């Protein structure tokens, strides 16, 4: 249908105010967070060889592929360009042991994307962190495969077949003394944990690589300090008070903060927008919950590492936490106080 | 020492450089004006003239109905040639008086008051009402009503709103640097009407020359003070301005007078001065015609009832790629469908935005709960939850998220990375529920 335009009658668009928007988009956020994980991915390749890249790539491709196929099958608009599936695949890949066979990242990615995210309504509607549910599913379904760890080699060469236990695993089954024996002394242990020359999941071993990416995200305002600081702070506190066998206030908080997936978890997984509280005060409660649960599982639970389950349990509480903190309305508190008087 | 400010808010590029150098210039006299009888919050005016009647500038053409209403005056001398339905900025059609300009510029008789500051407060208030003054920041609330706080709500502070936090707009800025004395005199009249001794002028830091000039203008007055505010939208919102200038919190769903404050726009203050001193009714105002879609942005002194098309023509016309024309500022202004819309007492700006500066609202993503809107909301609300519940039609549920504390400033919608039309959803919810 033709619209007649007279010389003075230009066609204007009408919509509600505001008529301008900031430059930030959801895609840009997703791709930026993925970029911040590159140091961790590179360290994975450095310590565990080409297989690391293979596993991570497989996880990403499976994540994107399953989202694409699901949305096409159900005639929904395809949203893979927003980068959220890529990010989930990348996080899942970084959370895997370096020894797993090829079908592990594929199954994990399908569970993460289809079960955890798409079936709940897609981006923004999932209750649980998709990558972590994927990993939890794998751990429970393939307990042996998901707990075979390898000694890191250096400089991107193919891994040795030699298997070993993670530092947290050694602490759980054989005690702190044995861990010290293996690494030499405390300083050497810390150094290895910081750099990444120890067994663990692909992305968690190098503390420095994780912290580098996290610092970048924080500097750019993509994540705030509330969750990581309260997560790590409460974990450190519990580690110090209860971490030593037989004695109180004699634990090693640094050892616990550098071991396992707590850095990767607190900066990249607990801070996932969709599954954590939106209100800043609520984020502190969320972080403290994650820290306490992580240490509870590490010290008293059956697993050597508790970050994954701690975050998933706190994911359940995120909406409740948000609802408890929502009444910070300008002018409201004063009215209540005056009414009480 | 930190600048006066409030919690939340956002800082879009202010784009003031497009029009800030343009001194206020009167437009060419309009050949005819179309003056709506409803230019303010409250009951529309009753028609007071007939077709064929000759009127002079400043003559009453619409009388107020009820207390919350203000008279409307002719902005030109000429003949009433018709009563038509004309579009307002929000698209509603309202009755309006068409007056053909006879070019004589003859005024209706006005009363000079050189001693205006010694007039009784009730007399000054009556002059404000008779002059048809309404809030010129955009809300167009009848000013004499705002200046009549009931006895139970004692007012001790008056604040002039020189923040002009909307991007692009420079009308108040130009008034402050060109007519600082008139602004101060207007403030004094307001203070006399409501009986207060403390007056403040809040100005954002991106107008340092205005801060300097206004500070000089109040230098001899010990009870008047200029407060420099941090540059943040919506600093010019009443509640945020009060928080920043005098650190008082207006109670939720209440008015500034509930914490002892009256706020007035800079343009309104100048109009009040002119009404008190010269008996001049509100028939013209400064309008910033700006935006990347206008060839020559200017600050114009415009007669009420002039068509926006004429203003645009006087500014060189619109560029080819203009996508939206907005009455007001880009954050809270109204997109108009036609340039044949008259300027009213509340029209602070005409903004032409090209395709590149506009973001269309037809596609948007899901809420990813990033919390940017919550951090930015100056009222401490959760715009994300209002948008999610309203999007799905759960309008009653939006009330649990303090729907009625939202004054639709648009800060949330500006920062949303999923480009959700949050203000639109708020308005939708408000239209579907009862408070």
Q: Does B236 touch chain A (CB under 8 A)?
A: no
Q: Do B333 and A329 touch (CB under 8 A)?
A: no
* Residue numbers in B near A124 (CB within 8 A): 365-369, 418
**Distance (Å) of CA A15 to CA A105, B237, B358, B415, B421:** 45, 22, 11, 17, 9
Q: What is the pLDDT of residues B62-120, one digit of tens each?
A: 999 888 999 999 999 999 999 999 989 988 899 999 999 999 999 999 999 999 999 99
Q: Do B368 and A273 touch (CB under 8 A)?
A: yes
Q: Do A18 and B385 touch (CB under 8 A)?
A: no
Q: What are the tokens at A180?
A: 């010290």
Give the residue among B130, B131, B62 at the shortest CA–CA distance from B96: B62
* Residue numbers in A near B382 (CB within 8 A): 278-279, 322, 326
Cα separation, B170 vs B207, whole angstroms: 10
Give the distance, in angstroms, between the CA of residue A218 and the centroid of all CA atoms in the same chain: 15
Is residue B158 located within the same domain as residue B300?
A: no
Cis, peptide link before residue B216, omega less than 30° from 0:
no
Domain closes at, from B357, B384, B410: B357
* Residue numbers in B near A10 (CB within 8 A): 318, 322, 339
Is residue B122 located within the same domain as residue B239?
A: yes
Burial category of A201 from C-beta neighbours within 10 Å (exposed 0-12, middle 13-18, buried 19 and up): buried
CB of B262 closer than 8 Å to CB of B246? no
Looking only at the bridges linking them, the beta strands covering B25-26 and B298-303 are: parallel
Q: Residue B168 — left, alpha, or beta (φ > 0 → left; ψ -120 to 50 → alpha)?
A: left
Task: Decide if B320 is inside a domain.
Answer: yes
Q: Do B417 and A9 touch (CB under 8 A)?
A: no
Q: Flag whether pLDDT at A333 surpasses 70.
A: no
Q: What are the tokens at B177?
A: 């640097």
Cα separation, B240 vs A55, whole angstroms: 53
CB contacts < 8 A, A to B, total 168
* Residue numbers in B near A332 (CB within 8 A): 251-252, 380, 402, 405
Q: Do B366 and A125 touch (CB under 8 A)?
A: yes
Q: Which residue has the tokens 């920043």?
A: B244
Averaged over successive runs of 10 residues, the pLDDT of chain B (435 residues) comes to 86 95 95 94 90 95 91 96 92 92 94 93 95 92 93 94 96 97 96 95 95 96 95 95 95 92 97 96 97 96 96 94 94 93 95 88 90 95 96 94 94 97 96 91
Is residue B265 located within the same domain as residue B307?
A: no
* Residue numbers in A near B91 (CB within 8 A): 14
SS3 content of chain B, % helix, strand, coil (to 5): 30, 25, 50
Is residue B143 located within the same domain as residue B238?
A: yes
Cα separation, B318 vs B294, whole angstroms: 5
Helix (H, G, I), strand (E, B) or coil at A127: coil
Cα separation, B5 vs B378, whole angstroms: 11
Q: How many CA atoms lie less than 13 Å away from A202 in the CB half-sphere?
A: 34
Cα separation, A43 vs A134, whole angstroms: 22
Task: Decide if B3 is inside a domain.
Answer: no
Q: Does B359 touch chain A (CB under 8 A)?
A: yes
Q: Does B371 touch chain A (CB under 8 A)?
A: yes
Domain closes at, from B357, B387, B415: B357
Q: Do A26 and B325 touch (CB under 8 A)?
A: no
Q: Does B318 touch chain A (CB under 8 A)?
A: yes
Give the residue among B189, B164, B344 at the shortest CA–CA distance from B266: B164
Task: Please report the pLDDT score of residue A27 as a whole number.
Answer: 95
Q: What is the pLDDT of residues B407-419, one digit of tens each?
A: 999 999 999 999 9
Q: Does B258 touch chain A (CB under 8 A)?
A: no
Domain closes at, from B294, B322, B357: B357
Tell me the Cα Rg of chain A: 23
Q: Do B366 and A123 touch (CB under 8 A)?
A: yes
Residue A159: CB partners within 8 Å, gap ≥ 6? A48, A49, A51, A98, A99, A150, A151, A152, A153
Is residue B289 located within the same domain as residue B185?
A: no
Beta-ladder partners of B85: B95
Task: Decide if B94 is inside a domain.
Answer: yes
Is residue B93 located within the same domain as residue B121?
A: no
Q: What are the tokens at A64?
A: 């994107």
Looking only at the bridges linking them, the beta strands covering B54-55 and B72-73 are: unpaired
Q: How many helices (H) and strands (E) does chain A have?
A: 16, 2
Read off the CATH number of the domain in which B300 is found: 3.10.20.600
Q: Does B334 touch chain A (CB under 8 A)?
A: yes
Look up the ipTM and state it: 0.92
In which domain, by residue range, is B218 found?
112-278
The minimum CA-CA distance between A93 and chain B, rounded to whole Å, is: 23
Q: What is the pLDDT of residues A52-61, one digit of tens each?
A: 999 999 999 9
Q: Which residue has the tokens 């649960």?
A: A293
CB of A21 closer than 8 Å to CB of B359? yes
Q: Does B352 touch chain A (CB under 8 A)?
A: no
Task: Please report the pLDDT score of residue A169 as a whole number.
Answer: 86
Task: Decide if B44 is inside a domain.
Answer: yes
Task: Please report the pLDDT score of residue A337 as a whole number.
Answer: 47
Q: What is the pLDDT of residues A253-284, one digit of tens each?
A: 998 999 889 999 999 999 999 999 999 999 99
Q: How many domains does chain B have?
A: 3
Task: Decide if B365 is inside a domain.
Answer: no
Give the closest of B239, B367, B419 to A21, CB-based: B419
Q: What are the tokens at B250?
A: 């207006």
For B34, the enclosing helix (H) or strand (E) is strand B32-36
Cα separation, B155 vs B176, whole angstroms: 25
Is residue B143 located within the same domain as residue B240?
A: yes
* Residue numbers in A near B12 (CB within 8 A): 20, 22
Give the distance, in angstroms, between the CA of residue A206 and the centroid of all CA atoms in the same chain: 15
Q: Which residue has the tokens 């008087």?
A: A341
Residue A111 DSSP class: I
* Residue numbers in A near B167 (CB within 8 A): 20
């Amino acid at each position: 249908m033709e619209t007649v335009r007279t010389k003075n009658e230009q066609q204007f668009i009408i919509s509600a105010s505001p008529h301008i928007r900031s430059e930030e988009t959801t895609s840009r956020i997703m791709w930026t967070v993925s970029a911040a994980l590159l140091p961790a991915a590179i360290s994975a390749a450095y310590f565990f060889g080409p297989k690391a890249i293979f596993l991570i790539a497989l996880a990403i491709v499976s994540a994107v592929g399953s989202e694409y196929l699901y949305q096409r099958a159900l005639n929904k608009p395809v949203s893979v360009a927003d980068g959220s599936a890529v990010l989930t695949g990348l996080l899942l890949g970084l959370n895997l042991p370096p020894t797993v066979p090829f079908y592990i990242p594929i199954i994990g990615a399908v569970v993460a994307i289809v079960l955890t995210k798409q079936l709940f309504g897609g981006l923004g509607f999932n209750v649980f962190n998709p990558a972590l549910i994927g990993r939890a599913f794998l751990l429970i379904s393939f307990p042996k495969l998901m707990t075979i760890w390898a000694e890191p080699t250096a400089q991107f060469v193919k891994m040795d077949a030699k298997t070993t236990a993670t530092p947290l695993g050694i602490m759980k089954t054989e005690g702190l003394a044995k861990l010290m024996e293996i690494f030499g002394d405390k300083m050497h242990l810390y150094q290895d944990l910081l750099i990444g020359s120890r067994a663990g999941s692909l992305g968690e071993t190098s503390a420095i690589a994780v912290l580098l990416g996290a610092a970048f995200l924080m500097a750019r305002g993509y994540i705030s300090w509330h969750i990581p600081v309260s997560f790590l702070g409460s974990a450190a506190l519990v580690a110090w008070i209860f971490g030593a066998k037989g004695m109180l206030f004699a634990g090693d908080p640094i050892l616990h903060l550098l071991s396992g997936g707590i850095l990767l978890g607190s900066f990249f997984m607990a801070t996932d927008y969709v599954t954590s509280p939106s209100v800043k005060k609520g984020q502190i409660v969320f972080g403290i919950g994650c820290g306490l649960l992580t240490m509870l599982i590490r010290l008293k639970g059956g697993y050597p590492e508790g970050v994954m389950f701690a975050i998933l349990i706190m994911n359940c509480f995120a909406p409740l936490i948000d609802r408890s903190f929502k009444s910070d309305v300008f002018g409201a508190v004063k009215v209540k106080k005056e009414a009480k008087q | 020492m930190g600048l006066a400010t409030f919690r939340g808010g956002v800082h879009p590029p202010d784009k003031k450089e497009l029009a800030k150098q343009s001194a206020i210039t009167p437009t060419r006299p309009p050949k005819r004006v179309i003056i709506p009888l409803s230019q303010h919050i409250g009951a529309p005016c009753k028609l007071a003239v007939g077709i064929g009647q000759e009127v002079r500038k400043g003559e009453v053409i619409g009388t107020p109905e009820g207390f919350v209403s203000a008279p409307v005056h002719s902005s030109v001398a000429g003949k009433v040639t018709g009563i038509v339905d004309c579009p307002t900025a929000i698209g509603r059609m309202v009755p309006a008086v068409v007056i053909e300009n006879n070019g004589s510029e003859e005024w209706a008789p006005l009363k000079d008051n050189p001693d205006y500051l010694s007039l009784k407060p009730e007399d000054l208030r009556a002059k404000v009402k008779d002059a048809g003054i309404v809030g010129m920041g955009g809300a167009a609330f009848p000013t004499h009503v705002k200046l009549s706080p009931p006895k139970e709500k004692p007012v001790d502070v008056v604040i002039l709103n020189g923040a002009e936090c909307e991007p692009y707009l420079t009308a108040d800025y130009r008034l402050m640097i060109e007519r600082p004395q008139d602004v101060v005199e207007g403030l004094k009249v307001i203070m006399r009407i409501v009986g207060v001794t403390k007056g403040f002028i809040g100005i954002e830091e991106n107008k340092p020359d205005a801060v300097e000039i206004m500070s000089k203008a109040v230098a001899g007055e010990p009870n008047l003070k200029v407060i420099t505010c941090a540059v943040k939208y919506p600093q010019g919102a009443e509640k945020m301005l009060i928080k920043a200038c005098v650190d008082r919190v207006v109670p939720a769903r209440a008015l500034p007078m509930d914490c002892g404050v009256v706020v007035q726009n800079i343009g309104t203050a100048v109009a009040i001065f002119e009404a008190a001193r010269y008996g001049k009714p509100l028939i013209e105002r400064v309008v910033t015609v700006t935006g990347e879609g206008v060839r020559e942005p200017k600050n114009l002194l415009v007669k009420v009832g002039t068509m926006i098309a004429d203003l645009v023509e006087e500014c060189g016309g619109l560029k080819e790629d203009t996508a939206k024309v907005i009455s007001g500022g880009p954050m809270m202004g109204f997109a108009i469908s036609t340039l044949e819309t008259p300027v009213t007492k509340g029209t602070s700006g005409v903004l032409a935005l090209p395709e590149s500066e506009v973001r269309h609202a037809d596609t948007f993503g899901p809420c990813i709960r990033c919390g940017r809107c919550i951090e930015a909301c100056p009222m401490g609300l959760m715009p994300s939850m209002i948008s999610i519940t309203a999007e799905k039609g759960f309008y009653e549920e939006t009330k649990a998220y303090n729907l009625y504390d939202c004054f639709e400033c648009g800060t949330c919608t500006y920062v949303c990375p999923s480009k959700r039309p949050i203000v639109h959803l708020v308005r939708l919810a408000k239209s579907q529920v009862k408070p």
